[in-house]
Amino acid sequence: MSEPSANGSAFTDLILEVFRLNGLLLEAGDRLTHPVGLSSARWQVLGVVEHQPTPVANVARIMGLTRQSVQQTADALASDGFITYTDNPHHRRAKLMTITLKGRKALDYIQKCQIDWANQVSETLSLEALKTAGTVLRQLEERLETYTTDGVDE
């Protein structure tokens, strides 16, 4: 068994911090979205759909999720009136999700709350540190998109 390099060990520590942070972000998102009857998962899907009508598969690709999990979330959003399904001129079976007025109002409310929350959470951090963290996370994302675990000893 190999010993971790200094970089490998630091990366592993970062992964654990990201997992913990993800949990906290989902909890915070659920609190922000609760007043308008949404959840973090629903907010994420609605946030993609707000830009243009889009099929479930595109949202899944953008968010790095399975089509089935996005479909369940989309069906719940449709059932609650936040989106509607419309015909897709490019594909007979893959309907487009389109945000409704109710969805737009909910998203506007959440986005305002998120801005206030983000300003408060980040006020004690330096702008440079936040930008560096974002850069490192994007670099890791790019690396992971092209790196496979095929051939790694199990």
Q: What is the pLDDT along the chain (154 residues), one digit of tens a residue?
A: 789 899 999 999 999 999 999 999 999 999 999 999 999 999 999 999 999 999 999 999 998 899 999 999 999 999 999 999 998 888 888 899 999 999 999 999 999 999 999 999 999 999 999 999 999 999 999 998 888 766 555 5
The pLDDT, as a whole number, for residue 153 is 53
Please tell me the predicted confidence (pLDDT) of residue 136. 96
Residue 74 contacts residue 60 (beta carbons within 8 Å): no
Domain 8-146 architecture: Orthogonal Bundle (1.10)
Which CA distances in Å does 144 have to 130, 140, 149?
A: 21, 6, 10
Q: How far is CA 107 from CA 56, 58, 74, in A?
A: 19, 20, 15
Q: How many CB atoms lie within 10 A of CB 70?
A: 24
Beta bridge partners of 97: 54, 85
pTM over 0.85: no
The domain spans of the chain are 8-146
Q: Are 78 and 95 in contact (CB under 8 A)?
A: no
Residues forming beta bridges with residue 91, ordered by sequence position = 88
Alpha-carbon span 124 to 128, nearest angstrom: 12
Contacts of 101 (CB under 8 A, 6+ apart): none
